[in-house]
Structure 1
Amino acid sequence: MKVKEIINALEEFAPLANAEDFDNVGLLIGDINTEVTGILVTLDTLEKTIDNAIAQHCNLVVSFHPILFSGLKKITGKNYVERVVLKAIKNDVAIYAIHTALDNVPHGVSKGMCDALGLTNRKVLIPKKGKIKKLTTYIPEDIYKKVRTALFKAGAGTIGNYESCSFSTYGEGTFLGKPESNPTKGERGKLQVEKELQLNVTFEAHLEKAILNTLFESHSYEEVAYEVTTLDNSNQHIGMGMLGELPEALDTPSFLKFVAHSFQAKGVRHSAELEKPIKKVAVLGGSGSFAIEAAIHSGADAFITADLKYHQFYQAENKLILVDIGHYESEQFTKNILTDFLTKKFTNFAVVLEDENTNPIKYL
């Protein structure tokens, strides 16, 4: 099993096309053609992480956070980032980071938080835009069903809980082959009028290459006419954060104790307590201050996230309670999510869950 095969599985699980623009995800260090001896799954990649990977015969580290966020002009070992890179390269340990690609899928970071709280009736808090595309193409009547079926198998035509969704209209297509053409219908140099169907299907943006390859392979024309457009529609199943409901409403003190216990948080910071009971809860792992307004507009009674600054707590304005449980605490479940996936997917070598606590923040 090579590194690239592990990467293909991970990118099917959490497509990198869904990651945020600022992020640095994917294979950061290593060769995709290296044979994998074992995988170590971690939240952060530190020197100790590489030591543990070596000790457990793992030459691939799958990390939630990327060790590299910006380019390195020198690698001299003067800081922890450079030392990790040096140690990984010296010991042929590849590093793959998944970060916001996992933030933006419904089975990722937010799911871990919702599971910890037992939230039901879940939906994405901030659906992602620009991630739905539409293919319009023109197909001869005699191969229409064959092409449409092939596109469905490649992932086109899936809308939420529905698949094989399409719309088509009948019409006439015309084309005239130039001297160098090799038409599969009609003759070069002669205008051909062909009964065709116009097919429209939507698909997730990261599938574009596979969808087009399938179109070209299944279509009979030498030159396939098609258009791909990016839609303004939000993808309700992809995006940051999640909104759900507690099994039972809680008063603020009980809710805060429940949250602290659920996330094993040693310190919970929060805005002013509410008079009303808390039932609807929004969550977003990591630094989530940008989603405060979205949480308010969603009608949430509470928003659980991390890294809130002093003045951001004022934004609650008694409309909801803001709860900062800590960055590490909010993302701690990602290791288990990735380990469970990789263990079920690959059974012919070890997938090791890093037991090192990499939280840089300590409490008295």
Structure 2
Amino acid sequence: MRHLKIFEFIEDWAPKGIAWEKDNVGLQIGNPDEETKGILLSLDLSEDALKKAIQEKCNLIITHHPIFFYPVNKVDLSSEQGQLIELAIKNEITIYSAHTNLDFTKDGVSFVLAKKLGLQKITFLENAPSTQYKLVTFVPEQYVSNLVEKLSEAGAGVIGNYTHCSYQLKGKGTFFGLENTNPAIGEKGKLEEVEEVRLEMIFEKWKLNKVLKALLTNHPYEEPAYDIYPLQNRNVNFGFGAVGYLPEKMNLNSFVNLVKKKLNAPIVNYTSGNKKFVQKIGVCGGSGSDLISKAIAEGCDVFVTADIKYHTFLDYADKIALIDAGHFYTEFPVLDEVEKRLKEFLSKNRLKIKLIKYHQTKKIKSI
């Protein structure tokens, strides 16, 4: 199997189109057409991770954080980044990153963090702005079921945990075929009236070409009529952070200790907030301070994230309990989900490809 098929599998779950617009997700270094011999998963690309991949004969490294956060003006082989690039290229190792697209998808970074803490009824803390279009087309009734199926296969009609979602309204369509036409129904040179169904389905904007191809290939008409509308409603399929509930109320100090234990974090910083017992918990893996106000608005008792500044702790000290469990510790659990999904994908395709989750040596130490 080529690397590209692995990329497509990941992007079906965490589409690049949902990533922060300034993020650099996807292929970082290498050849997507190379055959995959082994895969190493790592939160970051480090020299140790590269050496481990070489040792284990893995020619694909999938990281969460991209090696290139900003446009590259030069590659200085004497720099740390340049040496990583050189080592990867010389050993024919491809580097691929799923960053904010993995943050913003279901069962991504924040959902996994919520599950790790034992939360239930997990949803996005804030849904993403719309990234969707609505397709409207008109089709004879006897062709509707097949067209809905083909459009669904192309990715249309997904709303939350539901697929094949559509709206159908019966009506009457008219057309007059000119001399060079070959109408599927009726005759050219004659004004025809046909009982049709107005079919509506939504889809993500990055699936536009695929959905249109499915429409034009499977619609019975020679010249199908259709409209594409941009949507402004929030996207229920993607979002920021997560919110869920503990099975029962818990003393705040006990919950802080649970966070520390479950994430294997050597140290956590926290404020007590305004509640002694907590149950509704907001989380955001990595740097999530921008979502604190949203967590308060949603009635969360606690917000768990990382990289909280000193003054931010003070600003919200009496409004909500804040827990900073560290950037690495709130994001690393997502590699378990990536590993699980890749194992299932490889097994389904009857491929025996080595898959390693790398526990990188952390440069930041705690005492």
* TM-score tier after normalising by the smaller chain length: over 0.9
Q: Are the aligned partners of 2:159 and 2:237 in contact in 1 as well (CA < 8 Å)? A: no
Scaled by the length of structure 1, the TM-score of the pair is 0.93
Question: Which residue does 1:82 correspond to in 2?
Answer: 82
1:317 shift after superposition: 4.6
SS of corresponding position for 1:58? coil
Pair 1:354-2:358 in alignment = yes
Which residue of the partner structure matches residue 118 of structure 1? 118
What does 1:189-200 align with in structure 2 at a 5 Å threshold? Answer: 190-200=190-200
Report the secondary structure of 2:172's partner residue. strand
By how many angstroms is 1:221 displaced?
A: 1.9
Letter in 1 for 2:231: L
TM-superposed CA distance for 1:225, in Å, is: 1.5
Contact residue 4 and residue 32 of structure 2 kept, 8 A: yes
Q: Indicate how the Cα distance of structure 1 residues 167 and 112 shifts in structure 2: closer, same or farther if over 3 A, else same.
A: closer
Distance change >3 Å, CA 161–CA 344, structure 1 → 2: closer
State how far apart, in whole Å, the 2-side matches of 1:185 and 1:43 are.
57
Give 2:241's aligned residue: 241
Secondary structure of the residue that 2:300 maps to in structure 1?
coil
Distance in 2 between residues matched to 1:181 and 1:82, nearest whole Å: 60
Distance 1:81 1:193 in 2: 66
Residue 363 of structure 1 is matched in structure 2 by 366
- Residue type of the alignment partner of 1:38: G
Give runs of aligned pairs for residues 1-364 of structure 1, distance below 5 A.
1-177=1-177, 181-188=181-188, 190-346=190-346, 347-357=351-361, 359-364=362-367
Distance 1:238 1:315 in 2: 29
For 1:240, what is the secondary structure of its paired residue? strand
Q: Can you list the C-alpha shifts for 1:24-82, whole angstroms capped at 9, x where unaligned?
A: 11111111211111111111011221111111111110111111111211112243222
Return the alpha-carbon distance in structure 2 between the equivalents of residues 311 and 331 of structure 1.
23
**Does the 8 Å CA contact 2:175/2:193 hold for their aligned counterparts?**
yes
Mapped partners of 1:225, 1:108: distance in 2? 38
SS in 1 for 2:255: helix
Equivalent AA in structure 1 for residue 357 of structure 2: L
**Counterpart amino acid of residue 227 in structure 2:** E
Instruction: Check conservation: 1:156, 1:201, Cα contact below 8 A.
Output: yes
Identity %: 36
CA distance in 2, matches of 1:130, 1:237: 10
Alpha-carbon distance between aligned partners in 2 of 1:349 and 1:230, rounded to the nearest angstrom: 41
Q: Distance in 2 between matches of 1:186 and 1:335?
A: 57
1:355, 1:275 → 2: CA distance?
Answer: 36
Instruction: Give the C-alpha shift of residue 251 in structure 1.
Output: 2.4
What is the identity, as a one-letter code, of the residue corresponding to 2:239? G
The alignment's C-alpha RMSD in Å is: 2.0
Change (3 A) 1:178 1:243: same
Aligned length: 363
Tell me how far apart the structure 1 counterparts of residues 87 and 191 of structure 2 sit (CA, whole Å): 66
Q: For 2:173 and 2:146, how far apart are their aligned partners in 1?
A: 19
CA shift at 1:269, angstroms?
1.6
Query: How far is 1:186 from its partner?
Result: 4.5
**Structure 2 unmatched runs, 5+:** none
Alpha carbons 1:109, 1:285 under 8 Å: kept: yes
CA contact (8 A) 2:275 2:301 kept: no
User: Which stretch has the larger CA shift, 344-353 or 269-278?
Assistant: 269-278
